Structure 1
Amino acid sequence: MNRKEFLGLTGGTIIIAGATYYGFSDKSNFVRADIGSDSQVKTQLTADEQHILYLSSLAPSGHNTQPWLIKYIEPLHWIICNDKRKWLPAVDPMQRETILSIGAFIQNLEYAAHNRGYRCEFSLMANTNQDEKVMDVKLIRSGNLFRYNSTSILQRRTVRSNILSEGLKADDVHLLIDNEPDYVHFIQRTAKAYHYLNEQTIEANRIQSYRNAAQKELANWIRFSNTDAETYRDGLTTGSMEIEGISGWIVRNFYGKSNVMGKSFRDQNIHQVEKQVASSGGWFLLTSKDASVASLIETGRRMQRLFLKVRDKNIAIHPMT
C-alpha cells in the first residue's frame, strides 16, 4: 500500500470512529502566517532591526534549516554567521547550498533594510564555506533610497503541486532573467535540454531518496506535529509540504520519523518529483562564476531575486538542485 492509498483509506475510518477525538487533536496546519515579527523575547535590537531580521529570516534554505546566525556588534552593525548546527552533511557535505541560502538571506536583508530607509554596507569575511563569520553588515540611514515593497518577501513560497504546463510568456522570461544572461538561463519545454533536465532530476531524487543517510537527515527536519513546528520554527511542516485536510491531520497526529524511512514515503517523494518536472513550463538554470564563497553568495542573492519576482506574475516556482 503506498502513502496516498494509506491516507485515503485510514481517513474515512478515523472520521467515522474518531469524531470526538478529532475535536481535541491537532486540527490545523501551523503556517508562516502564525509567526509574526513580534517577539516576547527581550532583546537590545531596535524595532527596525527586529523587523529587518524577521523579513531576512523568511529566506529559503534546504529543509528550511535556516543556517544563519546573527552576531550583534552594535546598533545597526552585525555579522552574519554560518550556523554549523544547521548543516546538512548527508545532502550538502561541502556546505555549497548552505552558502546559497545565506546569500538568499542577505538579499532579503538588503531589501528589508531598503524598506525601512537604510542602505547596507557589506564586507565579506569568509574564505571557505565552513567559516563561521560570513559577512559583516552595517545599516546606514538614507532617506533617498527606493522603499522596497516587502510584501513579496512575506508572500514568497515554494509551490509543490498543481503546476500548469503552459509555456512562459517571452516578456515574463525577459523580466526574470533581468539582464543577467550569463548566469540565468531559461530552458523551454520544447528544448532537448528540458527533457534531459527532467530525467536527471528524477534520477537524482531517486538516488537520494534511497540513500539512508539522506533520508534520515530529512526525517530529522520534518516537523510532523504543530507542537514541534511552533517549538522549533524551522524544518518542513505538513503545511509547507502541502499535505492538507484529512491527510494533513493524519500525518500530524500519527506520522513520525520511522515513516520517512519506509519504502512508501520514499516512492511517494519520487512520484511527486516526476509530476512536478512533467508539468513545468520550463527550467530556469542558475549558474555561478566559480565555486568561491563570494560567487555562491551572489548566486544565492540572484536566486532570491528571481523567487521574489514570480508572485506578481502569477508564476509558480519550485527549486530543484
Structure 2
Amino acid sequence: MDRIKFIGIVGGTIGAVGITTYLSSDCTNLVRADLKQIDNNKTLKPDQREILFLASLAPSGHNTQPWFVRYLEPYHWIIGNDKSKWLPAVDPNQRETMLSIGAFLQNLEYAAGSFGYACDWKLLATTNQDERVMEVKLSKKASPNNFDITKITSRRTVRSNFLSDLLKQEDITYLVDSEPEFIHYLPNNSKESKFINEQTIVANRLQSYRDPAQQELANWIRFSSQDANKYRDGLTTAGMEITGISGWMVRNFYDKDNVMTKDFRERGIDNIQKEVSASAGWILITSQDHSVAALLETGRRMERLFLKVRERNIAIHPMTQILEESSTRDKLNRSIGIEEHIQFILRTGYLKNYPQPVSLRRTLIGVAFVKENRFIQT
C-alpha cells in the first residue's frame, strides 16, 4: 500500500547555505509524539474519543486515513468511506481503501473491548464506493478484554535495516495462528520470493514513470513540518525515514515538482532495489473473493498480524505495487502457485532495533449537531 522511502542521500551540507539559514529553517522531522492532541469535540465521552483515536492508528496507503465516523447517538456510529482520501491512480476500484477501513475496524474492536465494550456490527456497503460502510453499536459487557492497546499505539511500518535471517518456525506459527489458508510466508531463499523481488522492482519502475501515479504520490507528501502539522496525514520525512541532512534538505528545498523529475524517480527505484535485497522474505495475505465483506475482513486480518510482529522484533512493510500494475498483477498467482485472491504483499524481516511510530493522525473534530449527521473526522 506504501511506495515511500524514495530518497537516498541528498547532496549538500548545512554549511553550504550558512548557519543562519539553517537555524531559521525547518530543522527537525515532525513525528507523532510532537503533536498536541487537540480535541474540541464536546459530543463524545472520553472513552469514546480514545476508542476512535486508537482505531485511527490503522495503516493506510500514503497514510490517507480514508475513513470518517458519523455519530448517531452515544456509542452508536457509522464508519464511512471518505472519497476525498481515495487514491484513484493506484487504487482505481478502492480495493485498498476497503482494506484500510478493515484495519480501522479491527483497531476499533480491540480498543472498545479494552474499555469493556462489545461491538455489534452491521455491514452497510455493497460496493467499494459506498459512503456508508459499517454500522457499529457498543454495549457494556461483563469485563474488558485483556488486549494490550499499547500494541496499537506502538505499531510502526518500518522500511529500513531488515535482517536477512529467515523467520523462525515458532514465529511463523505465532503470526499465522489459525489462518494458514490466508497467510503465506515465502522465505527469501525460495523461487517465489525471488520472483516477487524482481516483480516489485518492475512494478515500481512502471508506477514511477506513470505520471498520474507519481503526481498522486506528490500530492500526499507533506514536505514541510508546517504542512505536516496542518494536515496530520500523508507522507512526512519522518514516515519516509528520511533523516539528518537529507531530511532537512527535503523539508526545506523540495516540493511537488521535484517528485516528477527523472532524478527523483530513479532515486526511488534505486531505494526499492536496496529494500528488496534485504529481508527474510515476504508474507502474502489472501481472501476468498473481492467482495466488500471479504476485503474488510482481510484488512482486519492484516491488522491482527501487524499488531503481533513488534513483540517478536519482526517488521512488515506493505509493498503492493505488483497488485496495482496490471502487467505484473496478471501473472502473479500462477507464478507463485497461489490460487486465492492476493490482497497484501508484505516484505518482512527481523530488526535489531525497533523504532517508535512516527506517522501522523488527524484529530477528532466535532461539527454542529444535525440529526444523524454529526461527523467526527479522525
TM-score w.r.t. the length of structure 2 is 0.81
Greater Cα shift, 159-168 or 221-230: 159-168
Q: Is the 8 A contact 1:118 1:142 kept in 2?
A: yes
Q: Is the 8 A contact 1:3 1:264 kept in 2?
A: no
Offset at residue 282 of structure 1 (A): 1.3
Alignment-mate amino acid for residue 34 of structure 2: D
CA distance in 1, matches of 2:7, 2:35: 30
Partner of 2:277: helix, strand, or coil?
Answer: helix
Q: Which residue of 1 aligns with 2:96?
A: 97
Q: Which residue of 1 aligns with 2:331?
A: none
Partner of 1:81: helix, strand, or coil?
Answer: strand
Q: Which residue of 1 aligns with 2:113?
A: 114
Offset at residue 303 of structure 1 (A): 0.6
Relative to 1, partners in 2 of residues 1:278 and 1:24: Cα closer, same or farther, differing over 3 Å? same
Offset at residue 16 of structure 1 (A): 4.9
Offset at residue 86 of structure 1 (A): 0.4
The question of 1:123 aligning with 2:135 is answered no
CA distance in 2, matches of 1:158, 1:184: 18
Q: Which residue of 2 aligns with 1:248?
A: 247
The question of 1:206 aligning with 2:219 is answered no
Q: Which residue of 2 aligns with 1:32?
A: 32
Relative to 1, partners in 2 of residues 1:3 and 1:278: Cα closer, same or farther, differing over 3 Å? closer
Alignment-mate amino acid for residue 20 of structure 1: T
CA distance in 1, matches of 2:7, 2:319: 22
CA distance in 2, matches of 1:185, 1:121: 30
Alignment-mate amino acid for residue 248 of structure 1: G
CA distance in 2, matches of 1:79, 1:211: 36
Q: Which residue of 1 aligns with 2:75?
A: 76
RMSD: 1.4
Q: Is the 8 A contact 2:8 2:271 kept in 1?
A: no
Q: How does 1:177-188 map to 2 (within 5 A)?
A: 177-188=176-187
Q: Which runs of 5+ in 2 are unaligned?
A: 1-5, 321-378
Alignment-mate amino acid for residue 317 of structure 1: I
Q: Which residue of 1 aligns with 2:151?
A: 152
Q: Which residue of 2 aligns with 1:66?
A: 65
Q: Is the 8 A contact 1:184 1:287 kept in 2?
A: yes
CA distance in 2, matches of 1:250, 1:70: 37
User: Per-residue CA shift, 1:196-245, capped at 9, x if unaligned?
Assistant: 11111111111011100000000000000001000001000000000001
Offset at residue 17 of structure 1 (A): 3.9
Offset at residue 144 of structure 1 (A): 2.2
CA distance in 1, matches of 2:260, 2:106: 35
CA distance in 2, matches of 1:66, 1:306: 19
Offset at residue 278 of structure 1 (A): 1.3
Q: Which residue of 1 aligns with 2:132?
A: 133
Q: Which has the higher helix share?
A: 1
Q: Is the 8 A contact 1:117 1:147 kept in 2?
A: no
Q: Relative contact order, CA 8 A, sep 6+: which one is greater?
A: 2
Q: Is the 8 A contact 1:116 1:147 kept in 2?
A: no
CA distance in 2, matches of 1:182, 1:280: 23
Q: Is the 8 A contact 2:7 2:268 kept in 1?
A: no
TM-score w.r.t. the length of structure 1 is 0.95
Aligned residues: 315
Alignment-mate amino acid for residue 43 of structure 2: Q
Offset at residue 269 of structure 1 (A): 1.4
Relative to 1, partners in 2 of residues 1:20 and 1:71: Cα closer, same or farther, differing over 3 Å? same
Q: Which residue of 2 aligns with 1:143?
A: 142
Extract structure 1 runs of 4+ deviating beyond 3 A.
2-5
CA distance in 2, matches of 1:16, 1:85: 40
CA distance in 1, matches of 2:85, 2:224: 20
Partner of 1:162: helix, strand, or coil?
Answer: coil
Q: Which residue of 2 aligns with 1:23?
A: 23
CA distance in 1, matches of 2:137, 2:105: 12
Offset at residue 3 of structure 1 (A): 5.7
Q: Which runs of 5+ in 1 are unaligned?
A: none
Q: Is the 8 A contact 2:81 2:129 kept in 1?
A: yes
CA distance in 2, matches of 1:156, 1:35: 17
User: Per-residue CA shift, 1:258-299, capped at 9, x if unaligned?
Assistant: 111011211121111111111110111100110000000000
Q: Is the 8 A contact 2:223 2:251 kept in 1?
A: yes
CA distance in 2, matches of 1:33, 1:108: 20
CA distance in 2, matches of 1:4, 1:176: 32
Q: Is the 8 A contact 2:7 2:242 kept in 1?
A: no
Partner of 1:223: helix, strand, or coil?
Answer: coil
Alignment-mate amino acid for residue 25 of structure 2: S
CA distance in 2, matches of 1:230, 1:3: 22
